[in-house]
Copies of this chain bind each other. A is one copy, B any other.
Amino acid sequence: MDKLVECVPNFSEGRDKAVLRGITEMLSYVKGAQLLDCSADPDHNRSVFTVLGEPEAVCEAVFKATSFAFRHIDLSWHEGEHPYIGVADVIPFVPYRNMTMAEAVQLAETLGQKLADKIHIPVYLYEEAARDPRRKNLADIRRGGFDGLEEKMADPFWKPDFGPCAPHPTFGAAVVGARWFLIAYNVNLNCNNINVAKEIAKKIRQSSGGLPHVKAIAIDLAGKNMVQVSCNLTDYRVTPIHVVFEAIKKEAAALGVEVVASEIIGLPPMAAIAQTAGHYLELPGFTAADILEDRMLNSE
């Protein structure tokens, strides 16, 4: 069976429909790569695309889309809530089928080199592709933002992995890497006190002694008059979605608050959903392989 890789490029544009349509087309043209999802947020002024397919095809489609975005997005005019340092500042490859993490790292390196060679932008490698553990975390690379990037890159420690040692005036820099599936998972509480969400986020996140492979922050959903615990699950195999949900529910109950809903952003893999259903139904050993569609995909 063919190798399949997922790529989830993030672009610093969530408003201009013509530009978003152009990126969409670039990600749809290449045979062997499928554009599965696109979500654009005008407040964040940011868009996230999900592409899946054969490694070379996905790499080519993302290269074309990034080149298009390079020509049509100018960060010197950018406004938006989301942190960023580049027009396409996060491009993670995720090994999906018949692929190792090492192969996904290789793909990130190939794309990074090509972006530097062809459109002359600086490229940082992150997560599993990082060449220095201190440059593994996206947040560290992005700290200071687009406006602080010129100063940051003057420090030899922040010499990019590919391309020039200064930000491109309109593009900034790209961060390309390889990682496992990331599940963006938010839990809403029937409470408008941000400190409650902060306390729960602190309890459950790995960095303060909570659940492994879980990042969590508190978000004020002012429009809904409620607060949210917003999580990133960086390895659902170690800490499944239901473990995070139950932990937040328990911590909320201890503070006299209730969970009212949760949401998954983007497209979780079937394996993570099977794991959750299997847990609640007490189905020992139940996995995605026990689901009709998984058999369909794996018998082609």
Contact = CB atoms under 8 A, between A and B. Distances in A.
Interface of A: 6, 34-37, 50, 52, 241-242, 245, 259-264, 267-270, 273-274, 276-277, 280-284, 286, 288, 290-297, 299-300
A296 B36 contact: yes
B282 A267 contact: no
Contacts of A242: 280-281
A273 B277 contact: yes
Binding site of A, secondary structure by majority: helix, strand, loop or mixed?
mixed
A299 to B, nearest CB: 5
Nearest to A298: B36
Contact of A293 (B270, B283, B290): B270
A281 B50 contact: no
Contacts of A267: 290-292, 295
A293 B282 contact: no
B269 A293 contact: yes
Contacts of A282: 245, 259-262
B50 A292 contact: yes
B297 A269 contact: no
A34 B296 contact: yes
24 contacts: A34-B299, A34-B300, A36-B292, A50-B292, A50-B295, A52-B292, A52-B295, A241-B281, A242-B281, A259-B282, A260-B282, A263-B283, A264-B281, A264-B283, A264-B286, A267-B292, A267-B295, A268-B291, A269-B291, A269-B293, A276-B281, A280-B280, A293-B293, A293-B294
Given A35-B299, A282-B261, A292 B277 contact: no
Given A36-B292, A293-B297, 10 more contacts: A6-B292, A37-B295, A241-B281, A245-B282, A260-B282, A261-B283, A262-B282, A264-B283, A273-B274, A273-B291
